[in-house]
Chains A and B, each alone.
Chain A
Amino acid sequence: MLDFNTLETIVFSILTLFMVGGSLVMITSKQTIFSAFGFLLAMIALGGMFALLNNRFLSIAQIMVSVGAIVILSMLTILTVNAKEENMPEEKNKFILISISAIIVSPFTFLLYKALTTLPEHFTKMQTINSKVIGSLLFSEWVLPFEILSILLMSAMLGAIIIAKDKLKGENS
């Protein structure tokens, strides 16, 4: 008979497998569609991780934002660009370069690991989703990060419009 902890470990391992595998596929695959699929897998697995930490709001929000918005938008971008395999630059030593860079950033990875392992104790448990609580938290305690994020998004949008506009002008002249 499985006890709860073993079950949790098994689910965690499966999710980790999907997450790491999806991220690797996203970086290494040559066809953009497989990158998108790997990204999708990693994002859904991340949502599962939040669910495993007993935070329903974050896990649902993760799927809603990352899968429902980011993956679809990036796929739409790739579709519009129509990146073909033969147009991609040839990367001969791709895997060697990836492993070397992985070794180089390993101290940082270790730091990240240490930071993340202490995280679950500080993790807010949110069993139910109360829109009122989330709204008031967002507009009282977290109002500064919220506003900074909106400024960041605004500047990104403005940048995109300016880049697109310059290109249009160049084409006309």
Chain B
Amino acid sequence: MSSSAITVVIISFTLGTLLALLTIPILVWMERRVASLIQDRIGPNRTNIFGFRLGGIVQSFADVVKLLLKEEYYPAHITTGRWLFMFAPIITFVAALLAFMAIPFADTLNINGEMLRVQPLPIDFGVFWYMAIGAVGVLGVIFGGWMSHNKYALLGAARAGSMVISYELPLGLSILSFIITYNTVDFNVMVHFQTGTALGFLPAWGIFIQPLASIILIIALFAETNRNPFTVAEGESEIVAGYMTEHTAMKFAMYFMGEYVAMNTASAVIITMVFGGYQLPYFATEDLLTHFSTFAVIIMIVLPLFIYGFIKWMQKNNRVKETLSSDGGRAFETRFFTIAFIVMGVVLEFILLYLAFISQSDLERSIYIAVVQVAIFVMKLMLFNLFFIIIRWTLPRFRYDQVQTLGWKYLLPLSLVNIFITAIVVVGASL
């Protein structure tokens, strides 16, 4: 292995870990702010470190500190197997984290003839990896609920188990129809398949090529992440907190964070399989490389506009009523971030100027494109996470028997029919 290969592996692994773990506080913040927006209130925005609130994100870090310092409480009736009671949340968390590691964040880099994947785990069977590891997560839920020796927890675990068998089949079958269409189990090749156009004007994304399978996939992944409208295992209006009724402090936090990591992973899988992954719609990586100067100039025009808009938005929103005597350092925070964003914009403009007109190195350009693709990926990821969150705060929960009916009676036959049609079309097209 050359040094560039090792560098790329380390960078993509770090990127994957950061994307999975550092998005947790942001997602928790997003969830609370979107919930507040929908329920017509403000949400957390007071916690700060030296006046920096970041719009309330600091609150999530404060919550983590609180959970870390809380008393470790064990129910007295758990006599044997306390280690399994503690270990169960870790299974859920680690499974969600590991499943995220097979997602490609950018196109394969060509460094001096070496093809290097920008993927934390450089494997070419990412779909199988996700299906195998993603299914382990629910075991943590079942073990935790069972070890609690509590009626609510046991009910939650039983519901989780019954839900798994009702959504796993449609999930696997819809993924199977994607595998037939794309003819691969490699996430990166799947993204490559989705470049270009379908029907002349639409981007060739999975949702336009396989609409039915895409919808089934999205519904099944909503169920897999245990989020609304599929929170039957928690069901806080029926069975207290379901499987995590007896879990406190960091053990609860593991379940809680595992849910957000699973949501992030599900969004990443949906984006990669259905919404074109890290690619810009219509443009393949090769197009961007051949027309690099045009692409760079467009970004150079769009970037200042975007930064200007963001700064204006921040200045408008990050302040208090004029009747209040102290603003708690908000003016300082706004000033600081205004300067920081302007400096960042200027630096980026100079880098782009250098790449577009002075440097002719293909390597630098392809690295720049990879960075842009990571940015696009993160943007799509956050948009889809927002979709997850909006769904949670707008839809009521399914009853557990309704989930099973949905899985067995509607999604399973639909996905079987879809596989049948897909196979006919694919075989017919290859004749």
A residues in contact (CB < 8 Å) with B? 31, 33-34, 36-37, 40, 56-57, 60-61, 63-64, 67-69, 71-73, 75-76, 79-80, 82, 128-129, 131-132
How many angstroms between the C-alpha atoms of A67 and B142 in the bound complex?
13
| A–B complex contacts, Cβ < 8 Å, 5 sampled | A37-B84, A61-B132, A64-B128, A76-B161, A79-B142
Binds A, one of B34-42, B133-141, B381-389: B133-141
Cβ-defined contact, B131 with A72, below 8 A: no
**Which one of B124, B128, B183 has the greatest number of beta carbons of chain A within 10 Å?**
B128
Nearest-neighbour CB distance to chain A for B404, whole angstroms, equals: 12
Chain A residues near B124 (CB, 8 Å)? Answer: 128-129
Min CB distance, B379 to chain A, in Å? Answer: 30
Q: Provide the bound-state CA to CA distance between A82 and B142, in Å.
A: 13
A36 contacts across to B, CB distance below 8 A: 143
- Is A68 a contact of B185 with CB atoms below 8 Å? no
Q: How distant is the Cα of A68 from the Cα of B167 in the complex, in angstroms?
A: 12
**Is B125 in contact with A56, judged by CB distance below 8 angstroms?**
yes
8 Å CB contact of A67 from B123, B132, B147, B161 = B132
The reply on B253 being an interface residue by CB < 8 A is no
Q: Which residue of B lies closest to A59 (CB)?
A: B132
Number of interface residues of B (CB under 8 A): 31
Residues of chain A within 8 A of B129, CB atoms compared = 60
Nearest-CB residue, chain B, relative to A63 = B132
Q: Are B165 and A68 in touch, CB under 8 angstroms?
A: no
CB neighbors of A among B117-159 (8 A): 123-125, 128-129, 131-133, 135-136, 138-139, 142-143, 146-147, 154, 157-158
Known: A60-B128, A79-B154. A67 touches B183 (CB 8 A): no
Q: Is the CB of B84 within 8 A of A34?
A: yes
Nearest chain A residue, comparing its CB with the CB of B164: A72
Count: A-B pairs, CB below 8 Å: 79
Instruction: Please provide the 9 A-B residue pairs with the shortest distance between their CB atoms, ordered closest to farther.
Output: A68-B135, A76-B161, A64-B132, A129-B125, A63-B132, A60-B128, A79-B158, A60-B132, A75-B142
C-alpha gap A82/B161 in the complex (Å) = 14
Residue from B133, B139, B185 within 8 A of A75 (CB atoms): B139
Given contacts A33-B146, A72-B138, whether A63 and B158 have CB atoms under 8 Å apart is: no
Q: Given that A33-B147, A128-B124 are known contacts, is A72 also in contact with B139, CB under 8 Å in the complex?
A: yes
A124 to B184, CA, bound (A): 21
CB neighbours of A60 from chain B (8 A): 125, 128-129, 132
CB neighbours (8 Å) of A34 from chain B are: 81, 84
* B314 located at the interface, meaning its Cβ lies under 8 Å from any Cβ of chain A in the complex: no
Of the candidates B80, B125, B162, which one forms a contact with A128 in the assembled complex, judged by CB atoms under 8 Å apart? B125
Question: B349 interface residue, CB < 8 Å from A?
Answer: no
Residues in A neighbouring B218, C-beta threshold 8 A: none
Complex Cα gap A148–B56 (Å):
61
B179 on interface, CB distance cutoff 8 Å: yes
Q: Is the CB of B135 within 8 A of A64?
A: yes
Within 8 Å CB of B132, what residues of A?
60-61, 63-64, 67-68
